[in-house]
Amino acid sequence: MDAERARESRVRFEAEVQPLLPRLHRLCLTLCRDKQEAEDLLQDALVRAYLHQESYQQRGSFFGWLCGIVRNQFIETRRSVARRRSLLDSVLEGASSVLGSLFTGGTEVKDPETQVCHSQEAELMLRCLHALPEKFRLVVLLCDVEELGYDEVSAALGIPVGTVKSRHFRGRAQLGAAFKEQLAQPSHAVSAGGRS
């Protein structure tokens, strides 16, 4: 009887996690330096989530709860090997497609010249996001890319909602200012202007 309950619990957990895997993998890619490390982090976090699934209180989204586990697993892994690196040290390919869609509105751009401009802007936005101070980067990523609410980000990061709101506002302002400043530089203005 216990084996049957355990099997049902595993099947239910897998069904809930399956549609969230791409988003969780993107978060892991954002936290880690390489793809293999991100995959290891995701696997370790999912094992931990499965083993402690009864602790999910349904106060926020299941995805937000999983984000908190991924983040905690990442920090614990870093501490255990005594390698202190900042969170979101590199924004990898997983986030670039999402940020790229901010410029295309989620639709495919047909004109090659426009497509080049959009990809350059997306790359520039990624660099600006990466340059944000650590405490703002993660909040901006979770709020704007992953579209989590302030309560969910608060629960995932273990910080008050007011702090999330403040960091989100300030992070977006810094990101916007840095992006505009980069666009205004002559090297970007020429490439964004196209050929005459």
pLDDT in tens, the chain (196 residues): 588 888 888 888 899 999 999 999 988 888 877 888 889 899 999 999 998 888 887 777 899 899 999 998 888 877 765 433 433 443 334 444 445 444 444 445 455 555 555 567 777 777 888 788 878 888 888 888 788 888 888 888 888 888 889 999 998 888 888 888 887 877 654 444 444 3
Query: What does pTM read for this prediction?
Result: 0.50
* Both tokens assigned to 6: 């355990």
Tell me what pLDDT residue 131 has: 82
Residues 159-185: tens digit of each pLDDT: 888 888 999 999 888 888 888 888 787
Give the residue carrying structure tokens 């980000």.
153
Question: What is the sign of the dihedral through the CA atoms of 24, 26, 31 and 35?
Answer: positive
Amino acid at 165: K
Q: Which domains are seen in the chain, by residue range?
A: 2-80 (1.10.1740.10), 96-193 (1.10.10.10)
Tell me what pLDDT residue 156 has: 82
C-alpha to C-alpha distance for 42 and 183, rounded to whole angstroms? 35
Residue 136 contacts by C-beta under 8 Å, 6 or more apart in sequence?
167, 170, 171, 174, 175
